[in-house]
Chains A and B, each alone.
Chain A
C-alpha cells in the first residue's frame, strides 16, 4: 500500500463551523505533513510531525490545529476559518522528515463561505 488517503475530498463550511480533515497512511512512514495550496501556486508548508511529535509549525494561525493520534493518522482541526483560508489542503508522508521521497494524498478542496 503506497497510498496516502485524505477525507473528505471536498468540504464547504461557514466561518463559525468546526470541522476536521483526516489523513491516513500505512507505509510505516514516521514523518507526516500538512500543506496548503492556492490555485496556480506551489504548496505551502503548514505543519510537520516527526515520530508523532510536532516538529515544525510555520506560524500558522491558531484556527488551524493539527493532531497526530498515532503513527498512521494525521488530523487538521478547523475552527472559525476565514474565506481566504479556502484552498486545497494536502497531506504528505515520508520515511523520515524531509530527507526522503514525499508521498502526497489527493487533497481536500476546502471552501469557506
Chain B
C-alpha cells in the first residue's frame, strides 16, 4: 500500500524566503504526482501535476521536482509572500489499478510579513 509522508508538518518563515517542501512515497511505481494548496475550511486547488515520465514542472514562483527512484518530490516556492500561507498537500497516483491518488498529511505554511 502506498504511503505518502510530508516533511515538515509545519513551517513559519518571514516574507521573501525561498522554501522547500518535501514529499516522500514508498512505492515508486507511480502514474503521477500532484501538489495541492488548501486554505482553512476550503477545498483543494491543484498547483502542479507531474507525470511519471517527467522530472519537474514549473508555474510562476512554484517548481516541483520528481525523483521516482528515490521516492521523493519537492515543491520549491520562490520569494514567499503572506498570501502563500496555506496547507500544501502532495498526492501520488499509483500506476496499474484504480489510479486513485493517496494524499500526504500536508505541510502547514505561515509566511509572516
Contact = CB atoms under 8 A, between A and B. Distances in A.
Interface of B is mostly: strand
A106 B45 CA distance: 9
A55 B98 CA distance: 9
A100 B42 CA distance: 21
Contacts of B103: 42-43
B44 A98 contact: no
A71 B89 CA distance: 28
Contact of B99 (A40, A41, A99): A99
B64 to A, nearest CB: 13
Interface string A44-79: 010010000001100000000000000000000000
A56 B34 contact: no
A102 B31 contact: no
B65 interface: no
A109 B41 contact: yes
15 contacts: A42-B89, A42-B106, A43-B103, A45-B100, A56-B100, A92-B44, A97-B100, A99-B93, A102-B36, A102-B46, A102-B91, A104-B36, A104-B46, A106-B42, A109-B41
